Amino acid sequence: MFVDFDLSNYYRLLHPRPVAVITSTCHSGKVNAMACSWFTPVSEDPPTVAVVIDEEAYTSQCIEESKEFVINILPAELINKIWTAGSASGRKVDKISKMNVTLVKCRKLSTYAIGESIGVIESTLIERIYVSGSKIFIGKVVATYVKEGTTGNYGWDLTKVSIPLHGWGKLFYILDNKSRYAYAR
């Protein structure tokens, strides 16, 4: 039997979700970081992704100005750094310094990726859609790279790398070599 679930929290039924850190460069030249679990592939050809960000967020402003963004996938061991990226506004805090991460120049963009990432997706902004206080930024993927030995034919090799899933707030789940998974037949 079904029971009602709080409609205002409907999105929690779609969690846990992979979590990433979005980096972008703002007009001042400052590199900003934001934790994000609302991102998704949109198309394979051309390779396209979307990230959903509150329209008032500093990251939203930075992407609007620079027309580019980076999806950084960090390993589960860096959950506290991911939490730091999502717990304050970049308008008030230098989150890169607070996270104590290394910036590396992107391969195709003018901004930076996080050196501790296990995977990086560089994207140029091609469209934005406004929806009830959020902006959906759609980006053409121009470069992708991973730490050697972390992926297999079907994506992440969970016997070799741990990736975090965001539950909600400070709750994270860890997928690692102890995680159970199976292939559908």
Domains of the chain: 19-175 (2.30.110.10)
Residue pLDDT, tens place only, 49-78: 999 999 999 999 999 999 999 999 999 999
Q: Which helix (H) or strand (E) element contains residue 164? A: strand 163-168
Is the bond preceding residue 47 a cis peptide, omega within 30 degrees? no
pLDDT band at 81 (very low <50, low <70, confident <90, very high): very high
Residue pLDDT, tens place only, 118-148: 999 999 999 999 999 999 999 999 999 999 9
Reported pTM: 0.93
